[in-house]
Amino acid sequence: MNFARRMLPAFCVAVLFTSLIGLSSLPCSAQLAPSQPAPASTAAPAQPASTQAYSLPPDKLAKAITLSHIRTALDIAGSLWGLAVLWILLATRWAADLAAWAERLLRRRWMQGLLFFAVFLVITTLAGLPLDAIGHAVSRHYGISVQGWGSWTGDLAKSLGLSLLFGAPVLLLFNWLVRVSPRRYWLWIWLVSLPLILISVLASPLLEPIFNKFEPLIKTHPALVARLETVVARTGTKIAPDRMFLMKASEKSNGLNAYVTGIGATKRFVMWDTATDRLPDDEVLFIFGHESGHYVLNHIPKELAGMAAGLFFVFWGSAAFAGWLARRFGARWQLSGPDGIAPLASRQGFLVLLFALSAASLILQPAGNSFSRHFEHEADVYGQEAIHGLVADPQKTAMGAFNHLGEAWLEDPNPSPFIEFWEYSHPSVQTRANFALHYDPWANGGHGRFFDK
Ligand SMILES: [Zn+2]
């Protein structure tokens, strides 16, 4: 649901941009749509005998089920295709040819490397284009995206520009590390990636205006900001009004979303204008409470720490796997080249490492998602507790928000548990709505997990 959420081709870009665009913002797919606010059981007899906390009218249900199958297929195809492209580049020796071409063309080694990795990034982007386009066409067909093809192509070009600007030099740097330390390079790459990830999280809010328009939320929604301030007061967060932004998402999407992003001096709360325009203020308050939970519970630093720890083993394991691949296929793929350089240290040899890293990130996807779902659930609990006393009925409000969210994104009310485990960065909307419906710690004079009352 975010732009560039699938920038899989090159893992370096993944390291940089996963954190930049994926991890750094914790998108909160809890949308609230314009239709009926799906009230609690007694008030909502319109839905025939549904005992589910999240339900869709029949026409939308059929669409949501088809769409969830398409999304899953595209996701799997995208991951496998990313691996296949790397394998094809190596097995056809196109990668070796490209490295040789760059060497003939330019004299300085670092410029040869920059050219090689820049062309590589262009190739992987072009290779991913068909699947990206199908994804966009599907999203438009189901009325979720309203972004024209011209604008979509423009975004793609901007993403590629960022990849070339930041990704190519980082790949070159990592490649150089393999060259100077053929045995311990994975450790140096890990060490160097830590500050890079931190920088990318810091810089992410500054790069987002390249893709979307932002303005201070207070400019157009002063009354809403005043209500959000009541949540700020209750949570004790220091989200000043000048850190609250409205994103003009409606130019591109019918989806509903909000997220927190940045760290330290750049951290901020962003609400999509689709959500402020179509959701009751109470539900916006809940979403804000959820996002505040990400702040208060330090989810971004925790995710970064988890990622840093995970990457240590990922780089170590990938280096071992890449070493095996190089021994097995090195000669056939012409990894060493004419200058007798170590197989993995050549330009084309570095793609072997990228292949190993991409395979690792595919295998570890469920682990990452499990962590993410845990944090999202915590934020849901926090959000519901945060609006207690500020809205008439926190349970109903949260459930309404989830129903609106699910309807706007056409979320399948009953996804397969395996798909949810493997692919969902958030618990399913059904799981979240169900929890919201039954979560009432104040019932017998009790209190919640995060607030005294
Ligand atoms: Zn969230």
- pLDDT, residue 49, reads 41
Which of 263, 260, 315 lies closest to 292 in space, CA to CA?
260
Distance 283 CA to ligand 1 centre (A): 14
Distance of CA 120 from the midpoint of ligand 1 (Å): 34
Beta pairing, strands 244-247 & 268-272:
parallel
Return d(Cα 6, Cα 148) in angstroms, integer: 19
- DSSP readout, 123-137? HHHHHHHHHHHHHHH
Please name every residue paired with 65 in a beta bridge, in sequence order, or none if there are none: none
CA distance linking residue 32 with residue 9, whole number of Å: 33
Task: Return the C-alpha torsion angle 342, 344, 349, 350, nearest 10.
Answer: -130
Tell me 16's DSSP state. Answer: I
The predicted structure's pLDDT at residue 267: 86
Average pLDDT estimate for 277-286: 96
Angle at the Cα of 379 from the Cα atoms of 250 and 406, rounded to 5 degrees: 40
- What is the arithmetic mean of pLDDT over 318-328? 96
Question: What predicted TM-score, i.e. pTM, was given to this entire model?
Answer: 0.86
In the reported structure, the alpha carbon of residue 362 is separated from the centroid of ligand 1 by a whole-number distance in angstroms of: 22
Residues with beta carbon < 5 A to ion ligand 1?
Answer: 26, 28, 376, 379
Mapped onto helix, strand or coil, the DSSP state of residue 30 is: coil
Instruction: Check pLDDT > 80 for residue 287.
Output: yes
What separation in Å is there between the alpha carbon of 84 and the centre of ligand 1? 33
Compute, in angstroms, the gap from residue 139 CA to the centroid of ligand 1: 22
The helix or strand, by DSSP H or E, that contains position 263, with its residue range, turns out to be none
Token pair belonging to 112: 């040869």
Q: Could you tell me the distance, in angstroms and rounded to a whole number, from the CA of residue 379 to the centre of ligand 1?
A: 6
Helix axis angle for 299-329 and 281-296, nearest 10°, is 70
**Hunting for tokens 């941009």 — which residue is that?**
17
Nearest CA to 9 among 396, 252, 351? 351
Asked if pLDDT for residue 72 goes beyond 50, the answer is yes
pLDDT of residue 15: 42
Q: What is the pLDDT of residue 172?
A: 96
Question: Distance between CA 162 and CA 321 in Å, rounded?
Answer: 29
Residue 445's Cα: distance from chain center in Å? 39
Which pLDDT value is given to residue 338? 64
Q: Is the pLDDT of residue 31 over 70?
A: no
Q: How far is the CA of 357 from the centre of ligand 1 (A)?
A: 27
pLDDT (tens digit per residue) in 371-405: 999 999 999 999 999 999 999 999 999 999 999 99
Give the distance (Å) from ligand 1 centre to CA of residue 27: 5
Higher per-residue pLDDT: 340 or 433 = 433
**Using one digit for the tens of pLDDT, what is the confidence trace for 159-170?**
999 999 999 999
Q: By mean pLDDT, which of 14-23, 351-360, 375-384 is the weakest?
A: 14-23
More confident residue, 82 or 15: 82
287 alpha carbon – ligand 1 mean position (Å): 8
pLDDT (mean) for 132-136: 97
Report yes or no: 215 and 246 within 8 Å, Cβ to Cβ: yes
- pLDDT bin (cut points 50, 70, 90) of residue 263 is confident
Residue 408 has pLDDT above 80, yes or no: yes
Measuring CA to CA, which residue among 251, 327, 258, 330 is closest to residue 287?
258
d(CA 364, CA 96): 29
